[in-house]
């Protein structure tokens, strides 16, 4: 009698366990489907952020090296700086088809790129370099090109601390790869989190960080998405700048240039236009607000050492050029990077 009761209790426990585990099993199955079948097609930073499927062949084509010079030279402590040094955000880290590769090809000499740690802005990093004596004794350095993305430009300059001397500008020489233990959740934890993030977005429980709008004509060669603009939501974060803010930003840019000039170094400041900024005038039934920031920042051109590719990239877009930006990414294509490099060289020649 006791054994029969025990058997029934075990059966009830197993039945409840199996029934209770069905939802978890379904969830794990869906996440595995996402990770092994969908995630490999979510390419480009916009595909990864917004959990959007793009054409992998298109991405591979965009990232195929255009040049073979393997520039820029990534700075490591103790390295000798080249005559041209670049400091910037992700637009300055676009290997192999970043603007420095094309710039190096045009000027026929190598370039040093100083990549900075996350959490430090390019402006703050350069200011810290100057204050800490990083360029002292580096008489071979002729140019520093400081680049910043358009949407962050105003706030980065306004929060700049010119008194800081903290040496936070260089990244680790060997940063951990995606498969290393850099994430405390571990490999399985990353799979689970990414799957949950995807479920939240597709179910509408969480708003996607990637926005989209249809364009009036084909601006990309991404199969099936030729007339679709995908962009990062942060492009809508700052829509304009006040006259007072712009005056203060201008003063701070001038001060940075002057501080470098005292060390015999010339500075160029490059604005990297945002994707939404370039294509918004072609949007059809645009539900997103009009952004004035890009046109307002063109006033900085009067400084004489500012490179802003927006007008030239707009001209190319309006002339029918496709893939100025990559369809699945928030960054320039090789075509735009090459254009930026040519504009930099023109500005260098005009300053000589």
More confident residue, 91 or 24: 91
Domains and CATH numbers, the chain: 60-177+231-351 (3.40.50.1110)
Instruction: Name residues whose C-beta falls within 8 Å of residue 103's C-beta, 6 or more positions apart in sequence.
Output: 71, 84, 111, 341, 344, 345
pLDDT of residue 242: 97
The tens digit of pLDDT for each residue in 116-146 reads 888 889 999 999 999 989 999 889 999 999 9
Across the range 26-42, mean pLDDT stands at 76
Least-confidence region, from 52-61, 160-169, 229-238, 269-278:
160-169
Per the CB < 8 A criterion, the answer to whether 156 and 234 are in contact is no
pLDDT of residue 177: 40
The tens digit of pLDDT for each residue in 222-249 reads 999 999 999 999 999 999 999 999 999 9
Per the CB < 8 A criterion, the answer to whether 296 and 240 are in contact is yes
Instruction: Name residues whose C-beta falls within 8 Å of residue 42's C-beta, 6 or more positions apart in sequence.
Output: 48, 51, 52, 53, 54
pLDDT of residue 347: 95
Q: Report the distance separating Cα 45 and Cα 329, nearest Å.
A: 5
- Tell me if residue 296 falls in helix, strand or coil: helix
């Amino acid at each position: 009698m006791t054994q029969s009761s025990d058997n029934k209790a075990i059966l009830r426990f197993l039945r409840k366990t199996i029934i209770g585990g069905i939802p978890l099993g379904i969830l794990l199955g869906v996440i595995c489907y996402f990770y092994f079948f969908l995630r490999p097609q979510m390419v480009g930073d916009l595909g990864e952020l917004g959990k959007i499927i793009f054409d992998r062949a298109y991405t591979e084509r965009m990232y195929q090296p255009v040049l073979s010079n393997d520039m820029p030279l990534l700075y490591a402590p103790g390295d000798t700086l080249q005559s041209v040094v670049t400091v910037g955000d992700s637009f300055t880290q676009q290997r192999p088809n970043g603007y420095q590769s094309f710039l190096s090809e045009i000027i026929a000499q190598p370039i040093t790129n100083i990549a900075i740690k996350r959490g430090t802005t390019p402006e703050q990093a350069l200011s810290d370099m100057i204050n800490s004596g990083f360029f002292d004794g580096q008489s071979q350095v002729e140019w520093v090109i400081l680049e910043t993305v358009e949407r962050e430009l105003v706030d980065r300059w306004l929060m700049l601390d010119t008194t800081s001397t903290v040496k936070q500008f260089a990244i680790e020489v060997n940063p951990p790869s995606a498969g290393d233990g850099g994430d405390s959740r571990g490999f399985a934890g990353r799979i689970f989190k990414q799957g949950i993030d995807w479920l939240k977005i597709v179910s509408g429980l969480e708003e996607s960080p990637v926005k989209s709008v249809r364009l009036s004509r084909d601006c990309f060669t991404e199969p099936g998405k030729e007339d679709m603009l995908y962009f990062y939501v942060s492009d809508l974060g700052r829509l304009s700048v006040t006259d007072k803010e712009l005056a203060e930003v201008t003063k701070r840019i001038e001060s940075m240039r002057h501080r470098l000039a005292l060390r015999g170094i010339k500075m160029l400041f490059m604005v990297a236009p945002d994707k939404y900024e370039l294509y918004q005038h072609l949007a059809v039934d645009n539900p997103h607000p009009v952004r004035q920031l890009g046109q307002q920042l063109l006033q900085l051109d009067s400084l004489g050492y500012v490179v802003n590719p927006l007008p030239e990239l707009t001209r190319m877009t309006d002339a029918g050029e496709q893939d100025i930006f990559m369809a699945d990414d928030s960054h320039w294509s090789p075509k735009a990077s090459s254009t930026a490099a040519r504009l930099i060289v023109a500005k260098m020649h005009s300053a000589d």
